[in-house]
Every structure is written in structure tokens, then in C-alpha cells.
Amino acid sequence: MTLHRISFPGSIVHCGALRRCIKAFGITEGYSSSFLSELELTLHEAFVNAVRHGNLSNPELPVSLILCDGREAGVRYLRVEVRDCGNGYSLPERHDFSRSGDARVLSGRGLPLIVHFADSVRNETRPEGSVLILHYIPY
């Protein structure tokens, strides 16, 4: 099992650094380029949501990611926790963008993208903040 923790001040100016960390992690773990692209996209969106909606864009509040790559019953998995200091939110059902009124709209697509690409998603509210827990089966 491989465990990594990444923490940034709660500001979207750190999105580039986050993506570089995720890419380095994925390359080290041997993920395919297509899975790594999906992982970078979903974790970027989760980070932005944590900054904007969890921490209300307060750069004094951290956003942390815990990445755990392991195996269970012979099947490889990746569990990612995205932690902020907010009160949590409701997750949408799986979303089909082809049924949206306008699929070109960029705002508000973060959670539907995350739910679409991750194998499972859940949100927990804890005393120290909100945790978005993502499970993937890497390929």
C-alpha cells in the first residue's frame, strides 16, 4: 500500500502544483495516461470545490488530499480523500451531460464530472470539516 498526503493553502492558485503532484504520483504508481487524465481532472475539480465552497475561498484554511493506492482481494484500488474546513454538501446523482440543457456551460460541472469518473463518491462531515472520499479502480 502506498500512502501520500498533499496539503495546500486554500487558494486556486495552487491548482497547477496540485496537478503536477497528482501526475508525479500517477506516473510513479504506473497508471495509464487515460486514467491519469481522469484522475487529474476529478481531483482538480474536487480541490476547486473544496477551496470555493468548503473553505469559502479563505486562503488561511488548508485543503488536504490523502491518496492511498492498494489492493483488496487481488484488485487494485485508489482511495482519495479531499479534506476542507467546510460544512459539507449533497452529492448529485450520476450525471449525463448529453441530457443537460447546455453542455458547454463550465460553471457547476465539477461534482457531476467527479461523480461520472470516480467509481464511487461519498461525502462525510466531520468536526474538523468536510471530506470527499473518492474510490477508483486504476487502469
Q: Which fold has domain 2-136?
A: Heat Shock Protein 90 (3.30.565)
In this predicted structure, what is the pLDDT of residue 94? Answer: 46
Higher pLDDT among residues 47 and 101, named by residue: 47
8 A C-beta contact, residue 74 and residue 64: no
pLDDT tens column, 40-53: 999 999 999 999 99
What strand order describes the sheet that includes 75-83? 2-9, 62-72, 75-83, 129-136, 120-126
Residue 75 near residue 137 (C-beta atoms within 8 A): yes
Q: Looking at residues 11-38, what average pLDDT do you find?
A: 96
Say whether pLDDT at 55 is over 60: yes
